[in-house]
Structure 1
């Protein structure tokens, strides 16, 4: 029987009911309408970051629903950013091909590493993912000839689509929002498929799933590969949007931030990554110049969420919908 050192709330059923679908549609409508509502560049900038965070956390939600917590998610975001950048700047590949390279590289690396790392469970898996994340960061710092070292890489070209440069915030937002919508749609499809039901079964009770004939190791490896590929996609988008990347942009805090978004949004719900990104992405702007206050706030928020709302804001909305339905 596997040793589960870290206990996560049991995943919710993949069917969220009519209220959950309504909330999901409303959240996605906010993403689509943002360019027409937010005329200022600052708000468009936040909207782009929200979409990129939805992509990054969507992949992580697959792994967390499988019962694993990874602290190297930010490392895969960084690897995706560097892979896409080097593919376009050094190899001369178009934007789409660079993004594909980022996803393939992170997925292949996750496949190889996951075969070894997933032999560990609980806190041991968390620790080895943390160690790998630090190794990636140090490797990016030391390999100056390829990554630019601490100086990073500047002048990353803007994204292109159908021969048009997406060099404005509004134009890039259209791309980012479209990919975010596809990510959420992919989650919706995955967790209503047999593979999604297997992921939920492994996340709820890995030992029982193994006894029932399910391959726990293979399911966890699949979730790890999906999470890493989505992280690589998010990193590629971030690199081409910001135009500059450095190892310090993909530290341990990126992984923690993605986990916090899922805890706040609801890691067991398809709506979770959307709500988490919408709520947590703009918050650093309220703490600009007060980093310590930001960290204290995040710590308190996570403690309160885990204590009183372990299923996150999406879970709270789903429970309210269930109670209202029962009252009728």
Structure 2
């Protein structure tokens, strides 16, 4: 949107499914830790909490509605943040597994990846000297031969089903082609503005973290959708996180941080919590004279149905 007095939405992706516990001792994976870190991130200024679930025994990504219910309702009760439930799950889950909890929760927002891709962190495996749990090594190194499936039919079925729930989406776009995929579904009449586009940079298999790529994504989205019809947000993976999201805000966008996207707070220093990253980007933005959107303001900007209209 083009309002020069706009407020910036901070999203926080609390745990994700790509990073494994061996990458950081601070990565939350028990329901209690996910809950406490999410609440702290909301208190620090995150208007949107992007949530995945993990097996509390070993941190393995899980689609289990029972585990989601151990932390999502508590987060919803203790904050007014927008709860954004993944439909991506992990590359190892079937589509029905990925949708198991979102179908029950009918949240205000879900994430939705806009195309199949070779999403991979496998080069990181060579840098890990010892693994905390026995599943992690095969999981990380196995990404080299995994396809993250999001076919046109998969996406169409999700959009059609969740339209009935009144759920809106964080459209995760890892490449320029994903923007064109989104435009296709808009042309099919499955979506109406405002759209929330999360541009992802720095994941192997998608666009690199070169700053020039941000201009390509922004200008392409302007051509396809018209700037008045969408909200742009930026996710920078790993060491690129803070510099890219700051640049995204300067270019008129919103920002996403969190331990799903980077386990570091600065060069060589592990982030001890999601809130630490939220506080850092909030400080940077406020020093640049941006104002931070509250959850209520974010709901109005994105046209969400409200927390009272969910089954969390």
TM-score of the aligned structures, taking structure 2 as reference length: 0.26
Larger relative contact order, structure 1 or 2 (CA cutoff 8 Å, min sep 6) = 1
Higher-Rg structure is 1
TM-score of the aligned structures, taking structure 1 as reference length: 0.25
Identify, as 1 or 2, the structure richer in helix: 1
Identify, as 1 or 2, the structure richer in strand: 2
